[in-house]
Amino acid sequence: MIVITGGAGFIGSNLIKKLNIKGIDDILIVDSLGKSEKWKNLVGKKFVDFIHKSEFLEKLQKNCFPNIKTIVHLGACSSTTEKDADYLIANNFHYTKDLLHYSLKNNIRFIYASSAATYGAGEFGYSDELDNINNLQPLNMYGYSKQMVDEFVIKNNFQNRVAGLKFFNVFGPNEYHKNSMVSMVHRAFEQITTTGKVKLFKSNCSDFEDGMQKRDFVYVKDCTNVIWELINNSQVNGIFNLGTGKARTWIDLTNAVFSALGKQPKINFVEMPEILKGKYQNFTEAEMNKLKSHFSDLKMTSLEDAVEDYVNNFLIKENQYN
Tell me if residue 22 is catalytic: no
What CA–CA distance (Å, rounded) separates 123 from 135? 10
Q: Which residue stretches of 128-207 are H helix? A: 130-133, 141-155, 184-195
First to last CA, the chain: 22
Q: Burial level of 269, CB count in 10 A (0-12/13-18/19+)?
A: middle
31 within 8 A of 6, measured Cβ to Cβ: yes
3 within 8 A of 30, measured Cβ to Cβ: yes
Judged by DSSP in three states, 51 sits in: strand
16 within 8 A of 4, measured Cβ to Cβ: yes
- Nearest partner of 166 among 65, 278, 106, 242, judged by Cα: 242
E-strand stretches of the chain: 2-5, 27-31, 49-52, 70-73, 109-115, 163-167, 169-171, 198-201, 214-215, 217-219, 238-242, 248-249, 267-270
Question: Alpha carbon 183 to chain centroid distance?
Answer: 11
Catalytic residue among 142, 144, 176, 310: 142
Tell me if residue 178 is catalytic: yes
Element containing residue 8 per DSSP (H, E): none
What CA–CA distance (Å, rounded) separates 309 from 313? 5
Catalytic residue among 40, 53, 97, 178: 178
What is the DSSP secondary structure assignment for residue 131, as one 8-state letter?
H
Active site residues: 142, 178
